[in-house]
Chains A and B, each alone.
Chain A
Amino acid sequence: MLGLLAVSMAVAQESAPRSEPVHFRAVEVFVDSKDKALAAYQLEFSASGGDAKIVGIEGGGHAEFREAPFYDPKAIQQERVIFGAFSTASADRLPKGITRVATIHLRTVGIESPRLTVKVSAAATAGGDKIPITASAKEKPHDEN
């Protein structure tokens, strides 16, 4: 039940005060639990190329997953972040369908696009039953000021 989605990102054209341009990007991570209420998940996100560095992990859009997820400090040394969260709320308060569960903040250097990968490790309902979900990632458009 592994979902795998690679997302290539357009290279921003803005210049930076270095020989190689430095960019900061926000990548939103979504899961789709279809008609099942999502109580818990674990994902693995990685960014390779473009000297990508993870510089922050933000919580999701739904109230039950707003807290910034925890991550494995060992994995992040390879610019992989294994993160997960769970909610103890009742099923009627949990999200169904497509839900933004996190935003990964990245710094990239140079013109190479980082290759982003999201893998699903596990997901479950409030009753503890495993459910199939898919995951995807999308760069968030920049808010200027």
Chain B
Amino acid sequence: MAPARRVVMGCVAALTVMASVLLWTGCTRTPVGGWQAGGPSTSSGVEAIPGSFPSPAEELWIIARDSNAEGEPTEDAAGSGALIAETNEGTEVPLPLKHTDVRAEVLGYIATVRVTQQFHNPFDAKIEARYVFPLPHNAAVNEFVMTIGERRIRGIIRERQEAEQIYEQAKHQGYVASLLTQERPNVFSQSVANIEPGKEIDIELNYFHTLAWVDGWYEFVFPTVVGPRFNPPGSTAGIGAVPRGAQGGSEQATQVEYLKPGERSGHDIAIQLGVHAGVVIEETECASHVVTSEAPSPDRLRVALAPNDRIPNKDFVFRFRVAGSQLKTGLLTCHDERGGFFTLMLYPPKDRAPLARKPLELVFVLDSSGSMSGRPIAEAKQAIDRALRRLAPNDTFQLINFAMRASRLGAEPLPATPQNVRRGLDYLDQLEGAGGTMMIEGVNAALDFPHDPERLRFVCFLTDGYIGNEAQILSAIQEKLGASRIFSFGIGSSVNRYLLEHMAKVGRGAVAYLGPNDSAARIMDDFIERIRHPALTDVRLDWEGAAVTEVYPRRVPDLFVGRPVVLTGRFEGRALTRVRVLGDAAGQRMEWTVAAAEGAEEHRGLPSVWARLKIADLSDQALLDRNGEWASEIKQVALDYGLISEYTAFVAVDSSRTTAGSEGTTVPVAVPVPEGVKYRTSVPEK
């Protein structure tokens, strides 16, 4: 045993009480990835905008000053005295977010991710920075640290309203303070108050989440930008999209400012990912970005974003495939002073091809709104084209498209004859992306017409999900679903994964993503293959005597080919080592067993992952029952487990020092529209 390790063991043995304290944050505590924290340490003054510029020979530097009527700079105006750089790549806009550093470590199928946002003040007056950014919708954010120079202040989880009040009080009194709130399960707001000119403040977040496993591949995703959302007329609780500088212009509760065409920010991103699969990693793929990778051993990987691909305008998606068709183990556990926690990945059994299935009724619902204009809608059309050509003549299909209104191919689904498929393809050809995203029109059109009982009905939504009224859509699906199953396809480089995954979850189907560099044919072939085989339904679990409670999702979904389901729960008493799974496929009873691997490592993130799922479950129930005490219950779970939620927030205040002057101007961090999305058709100009 290494000397350092011996010391830790000695301390833990002597201090059992203290050990339990350290267990709040997990079973053991090690730095993410074991890498040194990176990031620039330079302190920039007002004469220089930090960031990576081309060589001076390529630039024209212009001093830009916001002026009042007399042509004098106003003291508090953001932009005063800052430099704007004209480069070959466009106008670089000075912004308070300089860099985002992501360090992720995957153990088994749970990721631990540390995100550091490096804020600075390139202006000559004090500012408050505000940044709306995405994280995975199932991220259990349990740590928040504000770093000022060498001083690190851990933020405190509090009721959201209280945290917001504390932050505002500190801001008004001139203290450096920061606040993290959740606007959607996958959209967060970061505010940093009283950043003095030339100063830097880092905000560090830590979260856990489970990885998706699709068709034999694990998928790690880090989203980098919130896409421009459409909000139905009259709504105010949405996420508005406005051009840079249009503060408050959207009249929505949350607002994202977008860089205009020809503008860019110095904000860049670095991502380092470590993978410890526990079994041999046979193949890797990163279609979204250029990466470098090395394999220290057959079951480990180290991956880094290439230096020339660091613009935060699309999801980072890294996939890896391990040896064999299944995991080393599908059952992971963790014990701490709160009891036992587990997560279980259920795989559908193989070889169901001989089982008979009913013919299909496929309903394609295509988002033809403005944000889908161009490449996204072209890719969605390719996908539908491919699916239509693979249908059998005794299947039926319907095509629906929606923007501000919905329209459809025919009054009822058509048999998939060659003539009707041709008719469908002609209908698709004339669709273009334009207008708002009234997705509710598409949901109503797809789920309101009668279901043919002789067919299995699958409703396929193809959309980027850029809407701000997710709750309305999910609630409508829950209400109207009936015997239909919903498969959602995310189209684009930075889609609303929370909406798409929840549509599939509520719709008891599955989700797939079609990025700019993915093959539409492959995605659709996989989908058709999946639904051609009967799903395993009525899935029951025998815990073999273990005292298992609070398993999420509450109802085990149908198991489709290539799509496992992850269940997460708690247990008391003896260790959970085996689970017997029973279900029916096309009327035949099936049964198999999942066991924990011998000597499997415990994962410290499991309590947080479980608590996040409980919060998601309570939120889903709140969609149906507006009168329930859901808010109070969600808040208590979040506070008990130290997690951010809709009703809790992290706040950190440096009370040791006040800054000079007034509280400063608020400067939103403007972001680029996602790659492939047209600014003109997705960001409304006032």
A residues sitting closer than 8 Å to B (CB atoms) are 16-17, 22, 24-26, 39-42, 53-59, 66-74, 76-77, 82-84, 86, 88, 90, 103, 105-107, 121-124, 126-130, 140, 142-145
Contacts and interface: CB of A to CB of B under 8 A. Distances in A.
Contact of B656 (A17, A39, A83, A105): A105
B17 A42 contact: yes
A95 B682 CA distance: 58
Given A26-B655, A55-B653, A73 B157 contact: yes
Contacts of B157: 73, 76
B73 to A, nearest CB: 22
9 contacts: A17-B172, A55-B170, A58-B154, A82-B21, A105-B655, A107-B653, A126-B7, A128-B12, A145-B658
Nearest to B146: A56
Contacts of A122: 14-15, 17-18
Interface string B374-414: 00000000000000000000000000000000000000000
B153 A24 contact: no
9 A-B pairs with the lowest CB-CB distances in the bound complex, closest first: A128-B10, A73-B642, A24-B655, A68-B154, A42-B18, A143-B657, A128-B14, A26-B656, A55-B653
Residue among A25, A41, A84, A142 facing the most chain B CB atoms (10 A cut-off):
A84
B666 interface: no
Contacts of A105: 153, 652-656
B652 A56 contact: yes
Contact of A76 (B151, B156, B162, B660): B156
A83 B21 contact: yes
A56 B655 contact: yes
Nearest to B170: A24
Contacts of A40: 11, 14-15, 18
B150 interface: yes
Contact of B658 (A72, A84, A88, A144): A144
A41 B4 contact: no
B14 A129 contact: yes
Given A16-B173, A22-B169, A73-B24, A56 B659 contact: no
Residue among A16, A17, A42, A107 facing the most chain B CB atoms (10 A cut-off):
A107
Contacts of A67: 152
B6 to A, nearest CB: 9
Contacts of B169: 16, 22, 24, 107
A123 B237 CA distance: 50
A103 B14 CA distance: 26
Interface string B158-190: 100010001001101101010000000000000
A57 B655 CA distance: 11
A66 B575 CA distance: 37
B630 interface: no
Nearest to A26: B656
A74 B24 CA distance: 10
B653 A103 contact: no
Given A24-B170, A72-B21, 10 more contacts: A55-B651, A56-B654, A68-B153, A68-B154, A70-B24, A70-B154, A71-B156, A73-B640, A76-B157, A128-B13
B24 A53 contact: no
Contacts of A126: 7, 10-11
B145 interface: yes
B25 A70 contact: yes
A39 to B, nearest CB: 6
B656 A140 contact: yes
A145 B659 contact: yes
Contacts of B10: 124, 126-128
A76 B9 CA distance: 28
Given A55-B170, A66-B150, A105-B153, A130 B15 contact: yes
A77 B657 contact: no
A44 B385 CA distance: 64
Nearest to B3: A90
Residue among B10, B18, B150, B153 facing the most chain A CB atoms (10 A cut-off):
B18
B69 interface: no
A65 to B, nearest CB: 11
A76 B642 CA distance: 10
Contact of A73 (B15, B639, B651, B653): B639
Given A42-B17, A42-B21, A122-B17, A24 B154 contact: no
A32 B390 CA distance: 76
Interface string B127-167: 00000000000000000011000111111111000100010
Given A53-B166, A73-B639, A143-B656, A58 B153 contact: yes
A19 B377 CA distance: 57
Contacts of B25: 70
Contacts of A53: 158, 162, 166
Nearest to B655: A24
A56 B24 contact: no
